[in-house]
Amino acid sequence: MSGDMLSFVLLSVSSIFIVINPLAATLLYVSLTEGMEEVQKRSVARVACWYALAVLLLFAIAGGLILQLFGITLEAFRIAGGLLLFGIGMEMVHAKTSRTKISATEKYESQDADDVGVMPLAIPMIAGPGAITTAIVLTNEATSWNPVGIAVVIGAILLAVGTTYLMLANSERIMRHVGQREYRAVNRLMGMMLIAIAVQFVITGIKAAFPILVGAGL
């Protein structure tokens, strides 16, 4: 495996994992399924992960066509996506649940919903704007290794969503060992990594959109 390919694999896995944030999804899942029977909880976890997986795979595979349909260049989308991920990362550093994932209103309205697995757990908590943006950007960058690069992105999505499902299914055991202090520490660390990834997205987008800046030493 070449150095560039290895770097792309690490970037894909780390960025998708961080932006999906399985631990944050687990905390929300515990809150939304409180009082449910074990069978209902498992059903919610299964539905949430299947829907999130379907959405992310759809945008990963067809994201380029969607951008072309609206006349959006990859460079513009990469810069916009980097700014979005930067905002999410800053909120994670400050130990807050990103407002792009779930709002207080959505969480309140979901308390009496029959199917909390689809919304707000699958969308926008697991497959939120940040995750969708990351999937589209990575897939378009993967064209250099087509189809291996695209398989890497899809594999990273499968791995992240699969891990999320395992954490949801074992949420009670996880919550016995993870308190708010541990969650904030992990969240801040992941937020710092996401900020770095977001800045790299923006730099890459600017270089591609304004090649003259490359010669100026950007």
Instruction: Name residue 55's amino acid.
Output: V
- Token digits for 191? 């937020």
Residue 41: count of CB within 10 angstroms of its CB: 21
In angstroms and rounded to an integer, the radius of gyration of the C-alpha atoms of the chain is 18
Average model confidence (pLDDT) for the chain?
81
The answer to whether the Cα torsion of 155, 141, 14, 107 is positive or negative is: negative
Helix, strand and coil percent figures for the chain, each rounded to 5:
80, 0, 20
Write out pLDDT tens, residues 136-179: 988 887 765 567 888 999 999 999 999 999 999 998 888 787 76
What is the pLDDT, as a whole number, of residue 55? 94
- 179-208 core/surface letters (b: 16 or more CB in 10 A; e: else): eeeebeebbeebbeebbebbeebbebbbee
What is the 8-class DSSP label of residue 101? T
Give 89's Cβ-side CA count (13 Å radius). Answer: 21
Most confident region among 7-16, 46-55, 91-100, 113-122 by mean pLDDT = 46-55
Q: Name the burial class of residue 42, with classes exposed (0-12), middle (13-18) and buried (19+) by CB atoms within 10 angstroms of its CB.
A: middle
Tell me which of 76-85, 110-119, 197-206 is least confident.
110-119
Of 106 and 176, the structure prediction assigns the larger pLDDT to 176
Does residue 218 carry a pLDDT above 60?
A: no
- Token digits for 150? 């695209």
What is the pLDDT, as a whole number, of residue 54? 96
Question: For the residues 24-53, what does the mean pLDDT come to?
Answer: 88
In this prediction, residue 104 has a pLDDT band, given cuts at 50, 70 and 90, of very low
Question: The whole model's pTM is what?
Answer: 0.78
Of 59 and 2, the structure prediction assigns the larger pLDDT to 59
Question: For the residues 96-125, what does the mean pLDDT come to?
Answer: 62
Of 131 and 107, the structure prediction assigns the larger pLDDT to 131
Here the contacts of 174-177 (C-beta below 8 Å, separation 24 or greater) are 174/26, 175/26, 175/27, 175/30
